[in-house]
Amino acid sequence: MPFENLGTPSLLLDKDVLEHNCKIMQERVQEAGIKLRPHMKTAKAIEAYHLATEGGFDGITVSTLTEADFFANGGVTDILYAVGIVPSKLSEAQRIQDKGVKLSLITDNLDVILALDDEALRLETTFPILIEIDSGGRRGGVLPDSKDLIAIGKALKNSKRLSLEGVLTHAGHSYHYTTPEEITEIAEQERLAVVEAAKRLRDAGYSCPIVSAGSTPTAVFAKSYEGLTEIRPGVYMFGDVDQMFIGACRSNEIAASVLASVIGHNKAANRILIDAGGLALSKDMSASEFSSHTGYGLVCDLTGKVLEELYVESVHQEHGLLASVSGDLPYATLPVGSRVRILPIHVCMTVAAYEQYEVHSSDGELLAKWDRVNRW
């Protein structure tokens, strides 16, 4: 039996699938003539970084300074921390920078620029800054046609401690569409937003070397990368059920899964119980906007073959309850004590519950354990 020496729940990672996913994205960016700066917020493992950057540019994107520190310790020297910086975090950023890293920071706020400038003076250091642009995601960022953009560019020009490194955006709203046409249109909005912002800054006399966009869906479905210097997808390395519905991967391109044991049959309620619940799978239900039969994960046998109709219908802290679309549950073939693999709905959330990947080949051979960096 594959994985028989692992406890449950455990986090599995299929290295063959990961390599395939990394290779496809590398080919895509190399054809487009731009850089891939992979977002490591999903994988958070140094071995995944090496696979994702193999044969290409070796800079990365991170979502926390703890991640930045982890990858700096792993030898990465060009890191973009793509969450709005605040002055209280600058001393930690300096500590990472002192490891020999070019650590780029982002903001969308003029007051922050002024406060960062003071703090950088106090710390006797300098930082490259990218201005965050809102391309429709309505999270962070100034609008590309806003007055604030030029005001921030001017403040950076005037600063002796901060330099304008470029502009970046993330079309997070691409996660809510399922046709290539819709996502291609969002990719184009994303590209035009950040290209327009760069043009406005340059027209105002400010240099803007980096023009950075990217999410996995828009990276997959973009028709043009013109004016961009790099893209920053991340979840493409692993894939998940949500990305499958979006069309950004197929079920056999999902690299991470959770190994779980069947721990009960509740025939009165018509549910099979597993020992992977809300903590082992996360409570993310993103794919429910696309299907009412995905819940907290899809179910595979130990070879990774999807067991059609089965899904994790509900979760408690350490319990998952499997239901079937037709109502017929395979009690006989999934006795208590047997094992299944669960394909995650939103893999970034699921893998965060684990400190290590149990790395295996597609034929079920365990190859290694890879460490993840979690928390803050």
Site residues for a second copy per CB under 8 A: 7-10, 41, 63-64, 83-89, 92, 107-109, 111-112, 115, 132, 134, 138-141, 143, 146, 172, 261-266, 268-269, 271, 273, 275, 278-280, 282-285, 316-319, 321, 335-337, 346, 348-349, 352-355, 375-376
Q: Which two tokens stand for residue 116?
A: 């960062």
Q: Which helix (H) or strand (E) holds 156?
A: helix 147-158
Closest CA to 3 of 372, 361, 370, 371: 361
Least Cβ distance, residue 95 to a second copy (angstroms): 12
Distance CA 295, CA 343 (A): 11
Q: How far is the CB of 96 from a second copy (least distance, A)?
A: 13
Nearer to a second copy, 208 or 272 (CB): 272
Closest approach of a second copy to the CB of residue 184, in Å: 22
> Distance (Å, rounded) from C-alpha 49 to C-alpha 13?
14
* CA-atom Rg of the chain in angstroms: 22
Nearer to a second copy, 139 or 199 (CB): 139
* Helix, strand, coil content of the chain in percent (nearest 5): 35, 25, 40
CA distance 30 to 49: 17
Nearer to a second copy, 26 or 169 (CB): 169
- Select 223 or 267, whichever has its Cβ closest to a second copy: 267
Whose tokens are 């599995």? That residue is 12
Alpha carbon 126 to its chain centroid, in Å, reads 28
Min. distance of Cβ 117 from a second copy in angstroms?
13
Query: Least distance to a second copy from the beta carbon of 121, Å?
Result: 16
When the beta carbons of 346 and 360 are compared against a second copy, the nearer one is 346
CB closer to a second copy, 89 vs 199: 89
CB of 363 to a second copy, least distance (A): 22
Beta strands 10-14 and 256-266 are antiparallel
Least distance to a second copy, CB of residue 298, Å? 18
Complex with a second copy: residue 160 or 375, whichever CB lies closer: 375
Pairing type for strands 320-324 and 210-213 reads unpaired
CB of 86 to a second copy, least distance (A): 5
3-state helix/strand/coil string of 31-49:
HHCCEECCECCCCCCHHHH
Euclidean distance between CA atoms 234 and 243, whole angstroms: 12
Q: Which is nearer to a second copy, 34 or 342 (CB)?
A: 342
Which residue number, 8 or 30, has a Cβ lying nearer to a second copy? Answer: 8
d(C-alpha 148, C-alpha 165), whole Å? 17
287 to each of 216, 242, 278, 297, 354, how far by Cα in Å? 15, 5, 16, 9, 22
CB of 317 to a second copy, least distance (A): 6
Phi, psi of 87 (to 5 degrees): -55, -35
